[in-house]
Amino acid sequence: MTAPVAPAPEPVADEPATPSTTARTLRRLRAALVAGSLLTGALCLLVSGRAHTGTDAVGGRAAPALLRAEAAYGALADAQRVAVHGFLRGTVVLGGLGDQYQNDIAAINQNLAELAGYNVAGPAGTSDLQLVEGLVVAYNAEIEQAAADYQQTGELTRALPALWYATLQYREISDTLDRLRTEGRATLTAQRGSAWLAGTTDLLFLVPFVLVLVLFARTQLVLRRRFRRRSSTWLTTAVLALTAAVLWCAQSLHTSDGRLRSALDDPFTKAVTLTQQQAGRSAAEADEDLFAVVAQACPATSRSCGTGLTAPPPGPATGGTAEGGGRPGRDEAEFTDAVAEADASSSRRLAVVALLALAAAAASARALNPRIDEYRFGGR
């Protein structure tokens, strides 16, 4: 009788391989390199987008708004100068107020309409603009009434009441425009000092870029020590692509900031200064002529007719907008062109930056995939 045969033992299932620390390290490095590359590219796009918005706010709204406020003030001063000079010289009797006066009134209304479109002063600015628009209508009506009275009678005394009421409205308009100009300068200064237009914002993408470079160096060290690979084509490609994206982004921001600063410091400042100078000359001449009109129309015993006017102090040589009138316009055109160039520089080829960042992320993943695949079926 044969001994019972013991059943063959069942095959023991394979013990799960111990996860490789090298594989985990490579996966973590891959994830960090991909995330770091994408983060750096995203921050480049964020800073460029904010800089583009800041450039548009400063050069496309705040600065033009101040130019329009200054131009409206200059046109108002010149309208007063032309009108009062016509009454003083008697040309209103023969030719009316003239084309220059009508052009000045049209320029005031046009500049106010454009200023309302920018609306950088908020609700207070809107209220002031509505006030100015109404006062300009009343001012023009009083000037035309004074001209009509002068033409009908030929007596300056008959035209003086309407001319004086127009002058009071002219002063109120000037005061309101002064507030708008002050608000415009404050807004421009605040927006120009925005952090997004300062070079320090470059740190938002330069800091992660430096950290990613350290990770690239760490990864290369791991590949050299554990796989004896002195270099990786894909890893080198990733470093070059991300570096190109960062350099392109930084150069674009630097160029945009330089062009905007140059535009504000040169043609914009010149346009504002020349407009203010012409407005000052027009206002001074208008005051001199108005005093002469009142003195001429009033009796010898009262040379002010109760207006309280006194002789204005002597000022510089006067002259209206006809003197060098084209110069502020040329400076403003140069400023507009420079702002357009700055705006284009801040947003130029952002798609290229995004593609370079994506290429760096893809190359980072591709560089480590072959090494990670070696551990797919077990650890070593």
pTM of the model: 0.79
Pair of tokens at residue 346: 């801040």
Can you give the pLDDT at residue 9?
52
Average pLDDT, the chain: 81
DSSP conformational letter for 316: S
**What mean pLDDT do residues 82-87 have?**
92
Helix (H, G, I), strand (E, B) or coil at 311: coil
**Integer CA distances (angstroms), 128 to 67, 176, 178, 184, 291, in order:** 17, 6, 10, 12, 29
Q: 309 with 290: CB under 8 angstroms?
A: yes
Let me know the angle formed at the C-alpha of 183 by 180 and 184, rounded to the nearest 5 degrees: 85
Q: Which of 198, 164, 181 is nearest to 121 (CA)?
A: 181
Distance CA 248, CA 260 (A): 18
**pLDDT tier at 263 (50, 70, 90 boundaries)?**
confident
Instruction: Give me the pLDDT at residue 10, please.
Output: 52
Burial (CB < 10 A; 0-12, 13-18, 19+), residue 237, is middle
Identify the sign of the CA torsion 37, 39, 42, 43. Answer: negative
Among 240, 244, 245, CA closest to 367: 240
pLDDT at residue 2 is higher than 60: no
The residue count of the chain comes to 380
Taking only the tens place, the pLDDT of each residue in 3-48 is: 555 555 555 444 444 445 677 877 888 888 899 999 999 998 888 8
Whole-angstrom Cα distance, residue 183 to residue 270?
20
> Minimal CA–CA distance to 222: which of 235, 206, 210, 211?
235
**Binning pLDDT at 50, 70 and 90, where does residue 56 land?**
confident
Q: Using the predicted structure, report yes or no on whether residue 106 has a pLDDT greater than 90.
A: yes
Q: How far apart are CA 69 and CA 79, in angstroms?
A: 15
pLDDT number for residue 139: 95
Cα–Cα distance measured from residue 1 to residue 10, given in angstroms and rounded to the nearest whole number: 27
